[in-house]
Amino acid sequence: MRLFYSGSLLLFLTVRGWSGTPALPHVDFATYLGGSGDDSSVRVATDAAGNTYVVGSTNSPDFPLTSTAFGVPSPSQACAFVTKLNAGGNGLVWSVCMAGLTAQGLAVDAAGEVYLLASTGSGVTLICKVDGAGDRILWQLPLGVAAEAIALDPAGNAYVTGSASAGVPTTAGAYQIQQPQLGPGNCSERVFQYACPNAFVMKVSAQGTILAATYLGGYGPDNAGGIAVDGQGNVWLTGQTVSPNFPVTANALEPTFHGEIDFGPLRYGDAFVSELDPTLSRVLYSTYLGGAEEDVGEAIAVDSAGSAYVTGGTASSDFPTTANALQRTYTGSPNGPPGTGLGGFAVKFSSSGSVVYSTYLSGGGNTAAVDGEGNLYAGGNAPILVLSADGSTLLAASPGIGAFALDSQNRMHAAENSAGFLSFPTAGAFQPAFGGGASDAWIVEMDFSQPASPWVTNLANAADFRNGTNPYYSTYDVAPGEIVTVFGTGFDAQTQLLFNGVAAPIFYTSPTQINAVVPFELSGQTAAITVKNATATIGPGTMNVLAEVPALFTLDGSGSGQAAALNQDGSVNSASNPAARGSVISLFLSGAGALTPLPADGSITPLAPPFATLAQGSSAVYGQVVYAGAAPGLVAGAVQINLLINDDAPTGNSVNLELYIGNYWAYNATVAVGPGARRTAI
């Protein structure tokens, strides 16, 4: 049994053989953004002054707005919010709500004018341009098709991309005026009975008129999800194609389709990367990108030299990598169905289409940005990784957080939804407390050039790494005496973890992880949790206080599967060494709640009785609890349950004994049970 393990970002990086210690971020500010309803962010952008722009959805009637001229959210009618935070993250510049719209994308021009890509309730996608003061809608343009991403050129022209079966208003001289005629592998032979959707690109002027539009694709389904525009107005796209005749150029990295992968009616193929001229009349470069399994391009960014950086997901162990790659070995899930368990990749193309580097990325690549030095910031919900300009070195890393963008000082502005993790605002934040509902938007600015500061991304039970009692969605529950793991960055030997101002005993610290025991005297309905060191304080974050939040420790430290359990003879329970029916098995828990008598925080339970016993009731469906109390020799808070297995208990390698502590079930782990002929004396 292990009471802690480095399931941290640092281990995440180390186990993949990446040399050196990457820089961890300094958090300039972190703030909630939301009201009493449900609020979620979608995209984030920044401007030359370092302001942060966020778009998302809200149905909170008290969402922070500076004007209600464009609409007011309500529980029955959500709207798309557009919010501009100042450079310090401690105040609004302006904030409005676009009634009847759902935000999908965001771009900001040099004048601070906002291009919102959104859809109406009837599914119509449009661009809505808002002036730099946030007080006027300059124009709205329905696009006629569903777009997924938006980017701007230096003149303020907007480019959008996505996929469409019909309806793209192609223009004279466009590269591909219409979809290809029906051919081998076309969707007419499948369930759709019509031509497959193609990727498309549309160019819209700064005044709101369509300048050019083209399809891009072949016989099979094609979709573009990432778009970027270089300083010359050339347009770079990435996405996924299942077309054996997708247009490729003579200098393509991979001119041949690797083949289609079917999963029921779903079809998967290769990633693609394409460059078009500013008029959308010529394809300057285009290539397949991938291997024998599924590959998808998700994001793309360009630098001042016109080089393009593509990130995405791959299930291909033969994805093309270069000799100087940071990671040349595939580490994604090999057994999941198509569309799941993908590893990441990053590829840098020069302006002419030659490959500068190509590497796997452990995690993912649904967002990409590049700084002035040519360093790539790749990630999103997976850890954000900063690669050197030649793709050989990991310069920095941070825990993953939704969408992000870089400002001129290479500070990262990121947006996420607080429903996915425990949020810790910084001192002086614009909104220091959670507004209510299922989630708020959550805005963070990070700086990798400054010394790392404390930043908490989650606080969870150390046994199963869940936030609370619910197995299906995030709840933020904590119990007195619970052994917890805090994930984040910037932790050091001086770091303290406080619950309602009381310091918790810490028995393990790394730069990205703390393991501690919640003070037994914790009381009240909620706990204000603060993390601080000698130079910075973050928090408070808030969790519910319950009598118990039980979870079983597991043998491999993963938080699920085979329990860390001992058979009656003291041997470790396993599939090859099951416990017999009628014998006693010992299980170990965190979060079982108070003990009687109450032990001192941080103390070690003696090896000889008397032992403190569990204050809460305990039971099991397939056994009788014969001891429930402190685990001898372990830190106070670790609880041992001795369970006499019923003669009629089910047998097998993964039996869930359905152990209950108080009102909650420790549902995360199983044990191996074999047949037993007689009951053992206790």
User: Tens digit of pLDDT for each residue in 449-482?
Assistant: 998 888 888 899 999 999 888 887 778 899 999 9
Reported confidence tier of residue 5, pLDDT bands at 50, 70, 90: very low
User: Tens digit of pLDDT for each residue in 159-172?
Assistant: 999 999 888 999 99
Q: Identify whether 606 is preceded by a cis peptide bond (ω within 30 of 0).
A: no
Structure-model confidence comparison of residues 186 and 63, the more confident one? 63
What beta strand segments (E) does 500-565 contain? 502-503, 506-510, 513-517, 526-532, 537-545, 551-552, 561-562
Q: Which of 501, 467, 472, 500 is nearest to 482 (CA)?
A: 467
Do 469 and 444 lie in one domain? The reply is no
Residue 397 has pLDDT above 60, yes or no: yes
Do 56 and 91 lie in one domain? The reply is yes
**Segment among 205-214, 242-251, 393-402, 576-585 with least mean pLDDT:** 393-402
Last residue of a domain, one of 419, 451, 483: 451
Reported confidence tier of residue 28, pLDDT bands at 50, 70, 90: very high
| Other CB atoms within 10 Å distance of the CB of residue 575 | 12
Within-domain flag for 248: no
User: Tens digit of pLDDT for each residue in 237-279?
Assistant: 999 999 999 999 999 999 999 998 888 778 889 999 999 999 9
Within-domain flag for 273: no
Residue 353 has pLDDT above 80, yes or no: yes
- At residue 189, the 3 state secondary structure works out as helix
Residue 336 has pLDDT above 80, yes or no: no
> Total structural domains in the chain?
3
Structural domain range at position 590: 551-674
Instruction: Tell me the average pLDDT across 649-654.
Output: 96
Do 475 and 523 lie in one domain? The reply is yes
**Segment among 318-327, 394-403, 409-418, 552-561 with least mean pLDDT:** 394-403
pLDDT value at residue 266: 81
Residue 349 has pLDDT above 90, yes or no: yes
Domain CATH number, residue 540: 2.60.40.10
Instruction: Tell me the average pLDDT across 94-111.
Output: 96
Identity (one letter) of the amino acid at 515? N
Reported confidence tier of residue 7, pLDDT bands at 50, 70, 90: very low
Do 447 and 464 lie in one domain? The reply is no
Within-domain flag for 261: no
Residue 12 has pLDDT above 50, yes or no: no
Do 32 and 113 lie in one domain? The reply is yes
Do 629 and 601 lie in one domain? The reply is yes
Do 561 and 652 lie in one domain? The reply is yes
Last residue of a domain, one of 451, 478, 506: 451
Q: Which of 5, 25, 23, 21 is nearest to 538 (CA)?
A: 25
Reported confidence tier of residue 626, pLDDT bands at 50, 70, 90: very high
Do 533 and 578 lie in one domain? The reply is no
Contact (Cβ atoms closer than 8 angstroms) between residue 345 and residue 358: yes
Last residue of a domain, one of 545, 578, 613: 545
Within-domain flag for 415: yes
The residues, ordered by sequence, that sit 6+ positions from 534 with a Cβ below 8 Å of its Cβ are 494
Partners of 287 in the β-ladder: 273
Do 47 and 122 lie in one domain? The reply is yes
Task: Give the pTM.
Answer: 0.87
Do 620 and 509 lie in one domain? The reply is no
Do 565 and 651 lie in one domain? The reply is yes
Instruction: Tell me the average pLDDT across 57-67.
Output: 97
Instruction: Tell me the average pLDDT across 590-600.
Output: 96
Dist CA 367 CA 301 (whole Å) = 9
Within-domain flag for 334: no
Do 577 and 606 lie in one domain? The reply is yes
Q: Which of 347, 387, 324, 361 is nearest to 23 (CA)?
A: 387
Residue 333 has pLDDT above 80, yes or no: no
Within-domain flag for 178: no
Within-domain flag for 641: yes
pLDDT value at residue 11: 37
Residue 192 has pLDDT above 80, yes or no: no
pLDDT value at residue 182: 52
Within-domain flag for 265: no
Contact (Cβ atoms closer than 8 angstroms) between residue 288 and residue 296: no
Alpha-carbon torsion angle 127, 130, 136, 137, nearest 10? 0
Residue 4 has pLDDT above 60, yes or no: no
